[in-house]
């Protein structure tokens, strides 16, 4: 990917309401500085940042899509599903978020115990301190571990300790994608299969899961992502076409200079893919302009 590529639409970004480093208003201010016109706040399993982001978006003239990135599963395979244009107050969504919060909290305690058994004491407390008001996730553990000099960087931590199948990994029984998609749709949102190429599924599995996602009411798949090799974008686009899914685009921004790169730092959706943002009701893009205008 050329570093000069810039998008004015970014439908995947995190704030400190989950594991991002910027507060919701700082995130929106940064989006405005970067010329982003439509930004989706997609915190992990929480909508806690949306009210603040909405206010900031009004001040900066940025279109804010209220959204969430929900932890889900297809059988034993964990997945992320982005819900775009959700009503954060919808009862079913609130209940689902409550359950996910409990799963995350319990998982964090178990990760802490595993790390303690590996000789790394106080990691749970450290991750809680990193998380502030958020429920500690793996990125908070990672930050604490880096801060203590236990690992050099995120890549090392996930490959040595926290990644799937590593010694401090805790498998969680997340809701099945059918339930997650239904919950997003009941909340008025559009369900998007997040970063399909990052799961490292075989091509057959990925198609099967994307097909299942489409069948249960999923609408789109993330085709263009920051830092994604061109051949992966081509594969994601092929899956979108094969399964009749629209395409989404995003940075998965967490931090300046962090895991994923800058807001909007990616190229255009391939022209043959239908853009998911054109299907979002204008009312779900708050403040600012809608992408179609
Ligand atoms: P969790 O939602 O607690 O399971 O943690 C997932 C988050 O951890 C992702 O959203 C990223 O913020 C971070 N993460 C996952 N895998 C990696 C990786 N290989 N390198 C760096 N950060 C990662
Ligand atoms: Mn994250
Ligand atoms: Mn994700
Ligand atoms: Mn994300």
Tens digits of residue pLDDT in 256-277: 766 668 999 999 999 999 999 9
Q: What is the mean pLDDT of the chain?
A: 94
Task: Read off the pTM.
Answer: 0.96
- CA–centroid distance, 27 to ligand 4, in Å, is 14
Where does the pLDDT of residue 140 fall: very low under 50, low under 70, confident under 90, or very high at 90 and above? very high
Evaluate if residue 156 carries a pLDDT over 60. Answer: yes
- Residues near ion ligand 3 (CB < 5 Å) are 80, 194
154 lines ligand 1 (CB under 6 A): yes
Atom of ligand 1 nearest to the CA of 138: 3
Ligand 2 centroid from CA 139, angstroms: 6
**What is the reported pLDDT for 291?**
43
> In angstroms, rounded to a whole number, what is the distance separating the alpha carbons of residues 24 and 141?
21
pLDDT the model gives residue 1: 44
**Residue in 14, 256, 18 with CA at minimum distance from that of residue 137:** 18
Mean pLDDT computed over 220-245: 97
Q: Give percent of the chain above pLDDT 70.
A: 95
Cβ–Cβ under 8 Å, residues 154 and 259: yes
Q: What is the mean pLDDT of residues 86-108?
A: 98
Q: Nearest ligand, CA of residue 67?
A: 4
Indicate the burial class of 245 (C-beta count within 10 angstroms; 0-12, 13-18, 19 or more): buried
Ligand 4 centroid–CA 210 distance in Å is 18
59 Cα–ligand 1 center, Å: 31
Q: What is the mean pLDDT of residues 28-56?
A: 97
Which ligand lies nearest to the CA atom of residue 193 in the structure?
3
1 secondary structure, DSSP code: -
**Residue 92 predicted with pLDDT over 80:** yes
């Amino acid at each position: 990917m050329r570093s000069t590529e810039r998008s004015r639409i970014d439908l995947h970004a995190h704030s400190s309401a989950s594991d991002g480093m910027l507060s919701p208003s700082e995130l929106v201010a940064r989006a405005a500085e970067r010329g982003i016109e439509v930004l989706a706040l997609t915190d992990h399993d929480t909508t806690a940042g949306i009210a603040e982001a909405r206010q900031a978006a009004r001040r900066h003239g940025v279109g804010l899509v209220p959204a969430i990135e929900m932890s889900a599963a297809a059988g034993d395979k964990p997945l992320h599903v982005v819900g775009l244009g959700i009503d954060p107050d919808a009862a079913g969504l609130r209940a689902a978020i409550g359950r996910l919060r409990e799963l995350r909290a319990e998982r964090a305690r178990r990760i802490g115990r595993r790390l303690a058994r590996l000789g790394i004491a106080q990691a749970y407390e450290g991750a809680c301190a990193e998380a502030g008001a958020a429920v500690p996730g793996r990125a908070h553990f990672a930050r604490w571990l880096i801060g203590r000099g236990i690992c050099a960087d995120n890549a090392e931590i996930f490959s040595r300790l926290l990644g799937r199948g590593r010694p401090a990994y805790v498998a969680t029984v997340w809701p099945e994608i059918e339930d997650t998609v239904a919950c997003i749709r009941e909340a008025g949102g559009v369900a998007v299969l997040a970063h399909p190429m990052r799961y490292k599924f075989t091509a057959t599995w990925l198609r099967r899961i994307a097909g299942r996602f489409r069948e249960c009411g999923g609408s789109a798949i993330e085709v263009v992502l920051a830092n994604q090799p061109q051949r992966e974008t081509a594969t994601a686009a092929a899956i979108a076409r094969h399964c009749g899914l629209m395409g989404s685009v995003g940075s998965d921004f967490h931090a300046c200079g962090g895991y994923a790169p800058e807001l909007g730092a990616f190229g255009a959706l391939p022209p043959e893919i239908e853009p998911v943002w054109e299907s979002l009701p204008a009312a779900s893009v708050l403040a600012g302009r809608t992408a179609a205008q």
